[in-house]
Amino acid sequence: MWTDDEIEKGIQAGGAAREKALYHVFFQQDWKGAAIIFVLQNGGYEPDGDDIAQKAFVLFENNVRLGKFKGQSSLKTYFLA
């Protein structure tokens, strides 16, 4: 299990470290599934949840890579918010 700090540093490092960190959170920790469940619980449909998860994933990666994440929450909370 990776810490938030390890995930953040991996994304910012780029290359293989970035890919491993993103794969870990999106698939191994199933943040994608968490986003889909959130959408379903709020009256949405699974395809909508999948679309939202992918868009959130791109924004999350960009914000972390560019240093916009300030550590005021966990990375998962930041992703889901």
Task: Write the single-letter amino acid at 9.
Answer: K
What is the reported pTM?
A: 0.87
- pLDDT, one tens digit per residue, over 7-62 is 999 999 999 999 999 999 998 999 999 999 999 999 999 999 999 999 999 999 99
**pLDDT for res 1:** 83
- CA 37 vs CA 12, 43, 69, 80: distances in Å: 28, 10, 24, 11
The domain spanning residue 48 has which CATH number?
A: 1.10.1740
- pLDDT, one tens digit per residue, over 61-78 is 999 999 999 999 999 999
Full residue range of the structural domain in which residue 32 is found: 4-80
Domain count, the chain: 1
- Cα-trace Rg, the chain: 12
